[in-house]
Amino acid sequence: MAKLIGAIGVSHTPTIGYARDRKLAQDPVWAPIFEAFEPLKDWLAEQKPDALVMIYNDHVTSFSFDHYSAFALGVGDQYAVADEGGGPRDLPAVPGHAEFARYLARAVMAQDFDLSLFQHKPLDHGCLSPLCLLTPPEETWPIPIVPLQCGVLQFPAPSAKRCLDLGKALRKAIDAWPEDKRVVIVATGGLSHQVHGERAGFNNTAWDEAFLDMLQNDPDRLAGMTHAEYAKLGGFESAEVIMWLIMRGAMSDKVACHHRTYYLPSMTAIATVRYEDQGEDTAEAERERVRHETTRQLEGVEDLEGTYPFTLEVSAKAYRANRFLQNLVDPAARARFLADPEAEFEAACLSDEERDLIRRRDWGGMIRYGFIFFVLEKLGAVLGVPNPQIYASMKGLTLEAFLATRNAQITYSVSRN
């Protein structure tokens, strides 16, 4: 069975990455940052966990306000380094623990947390600033991650209590994972700071120390606070420290603190903590219940002939192909595809099998491969193939034979033509 072997809380200010990239570990101003992370780095190197659950918030880099989610879990197998305006940092892509992430998605959603899920989104300093000191990469990063991005920039945002409760759901999910793996959960963000308006530069060391005390000993009190209370005490952007409650919620009521530091060099108070649990693991009966709930919603669907659920595994396999057909909503992409489909296949890095399925208009084959129907109808609209003709092909019927099974003998498409 999986085991949560510890929890870490760290700030994620971009100055951490700045200092690391410029090799400032011996500079008196920057040295305390490196010294604070060193015991955490050594502990992770010694423990060699199989995965890190990285809780962070994106800073309008990969996530924007056209679609902004409260909690977005990364379920991919690799994450690029984001360009935050001046080019991406010189770091390798971060490996994702896709198997564990997809399990967590099922197990947490089975506990009624409606997560958003993402693949192929680059990671910004919210994740990478602390990660590069916790697990310094050489040619590769030593530990795969599961990123959990929290939408704490646009309001309404998740409450502190919701974050604590999510941590509890994560713990049950981790404990119920039937693999013999060791997991560490890492929360990032804060502490006190404000970076906008006339209050820019606000800090409150007394509150930061009180927050760290309550995080260890009285997380329920922190969970009862509002965003405005966090902002008043620590600066508006410091309200992101509610993400630390996800980490704390994954631990039992009683934890041992094996590491704690605090440093205020400039705009953001930088803190590090490490906890180990002193409570009981999730009971076996509860683990079994959670395991069952992860698959219960689709139990029996395999008995439905000609039915192919679009699962996370299918989505990952056919990601490029589905994205390729989705992009046909762009008039320029449509024009390029109609003019030279082979060049577009190459540009999208489609596999030989994917290209062949599209060339042959093998609608049923595309579904069985992992294309979702709602991109097939976009392809049909571009090619002038009406939806009923696609349905007929998947059933092995002529269009006329299929229409004979309908109450109205009509053809239609999502195309406006």
Residues belonging to the active site: 125, 193
Residue 168's contacts (CB-CB under 8 Å, 6 or more residues apart) are 249, 250
Spell 6-31 as b/e; 16+ CB within 10 A means b: bbbbbbbbbbbbebbeeebeeeeebe
Q: What is the rounded distance in angstroms from the CA atom of residue 343 to the CA atom of residue 7?
A: 48
Number of C-beta neighbours around residue 118 at 10 A: 17
Q: Which two tokens stand for residue 342?
A: 């082979």
- The amino acid occupying position 214 is M
Amino acid identity at 382: V
**Number of separate helices (H) and strands (E) present in the chain:** 19, 10
CA distance 1 to 127: 27
State in Å, rounded, how far the first CA of the chain is from the last one.
56
The DSSP bridge pattern shows strands 182-188 and 3-10 to be parallel
List Cα–Cα distances, 79 to 6, 94, 111, in angstroms: 24, 5, 27
Q: Which helix H or strand E contains 393, and what residues bound it?
A: helix 387-395
Q: Read out DSSP for 55-68?
A: EE---SSS--TTS-
The span from the CA of 72 to the CA of 116, in Å, is 4
Q: Quick one: DSSP state of residue 234?
A: H
Alpha helices in 4-52 (DSSP H): 14-21, 31-47
Other residues' Cβ atoms within 10 Å of the Cβ of residue 331: 8
Cα 191 off chain centre by: 22
Which SS3 state, helix, strand or coil, does residue 334 take? helix
